[in-house]
Amino acid sequence: MSRVDEAAAGALVRRYRAARRDPGLAVLEGFHALKHALRFGAKVQEAATSDPEGVERLAGELAPDVATGLAAVAAPVAPELLAELVPYAPRTGVVAIARRPEVDIEAALADPRPQPLVLLEDPRTMGNMGACVRVAAAAGAAGVLTTGEADPWHPDALRGAAGLHYALPVARIDALPESDRPLVAIDPEGEGLRPGELPPRAVLAFGTERHGLSEELLERADARLGIPMREGVSSLNLATSVAAVLFSRLL
């Protein structure tokens, strides 16, 4: 490698590492994350691939709508360099840096459509958070808000969501603002949820993986609903319960 190439490779690695800590940027790992991000309007700053032909083939097969955009952004790099850009190089051999969109939380809360808004109270597991965003996007939810320290736009959460953060408003908030939406606590101890029972425009609040919903949120809620389970099972996984509740409106 020439000195110029070495310097360019070093700068590329520094940009990807800095992007992981930048609250204005999103690091997208893998073809599906980049595909969804482009499809839902992400402004991709740069992308790198160790397998240009493979990416082109996947784009042709699975995402002809964004194939031109993908081909235009992805610069070829050696597999060893790709492995330095992210902690776990994706099997599809493509990574990217995109701008995070501005999320208007007030507008998401005021959205007049009947779709529910998902609130995750203090979620801890990035993969879980990503899976919640993915299912919320698939079910057409009005957005996903999270409280607590964890960043819902962390690259691991983006990977778990396959980049679907760009399909709906996703943001961390300090606390749930007052709004005209009914607040429904989703809790294993709640009254058994039946299909079609959710009120329109509900904020559906889900608790933290270990301890569930806080007393404060349970007290504030207008209703408390549970997903029926077989005796002896104490709870479902967080993302599984988000999926069950969101799809109870649709199936």
Ligand X SMILES: C[S@@+](CC[C@H](N)C(=O)[O-])C[C@H]1O[C@@H](n2cnc3c(N)ncnc32)[C@H](O)[C@@H]1O
Q: How far is the CB of 163 from ligand X (least distance, A)?
A: 24
Residue 83 CB-half CA count within 13 A: 3
By CB under 6 A, is residue 125 in contact with ligand X? no
Among 25-33, 77-85, 139-147, 231-239, which window interacts with ligand X (CB under 6 A)? 231-239
Q: How far is the CB of 147 from ligand X (least distance, A)?
A: 13
**CA 120, CA 204: separation in Å to the nearest integer?**
8
Phi, psi of 164 (to 5 degrees): -80, 5
Among 92-100, 141-149, 169-177, 230-238, which window interacts with ligand X (CB under 6 A)? 230-238
Among 17, 182, 209, 223, binds ligand X (CB under 6 A): 209
Q: How far is the CB of 245 from ligand X (least distance, A)?
A: 7
**CA 162, CA 9: separation in Å to the nearest integer?**
26
CA nearest 242: which of 147, 121, 151, 61? 121
> Cα–chain-centroid distance for residue 139?
13
Among 12-20, 28-36, 80-88, 184-192, which window interacts with ligand X (CB under 6 A)? 184-192
**CA 139, CA 121: separation in Å to the nearest integer?**
20
Query: Other C-beta atoms within 10 Å of 241: how many?
Result: 22
Q: How far is the CB of 221 from ligand X (least distance, A)?
A: 11
By CB under 6 A, is residue 241 in contact with ligand X? yes
Positions in the binding site for ligand X (CB under 6 A): 186-188, 190, 206-207, 209, 211-213, 226-227, 229, 235-238, 241
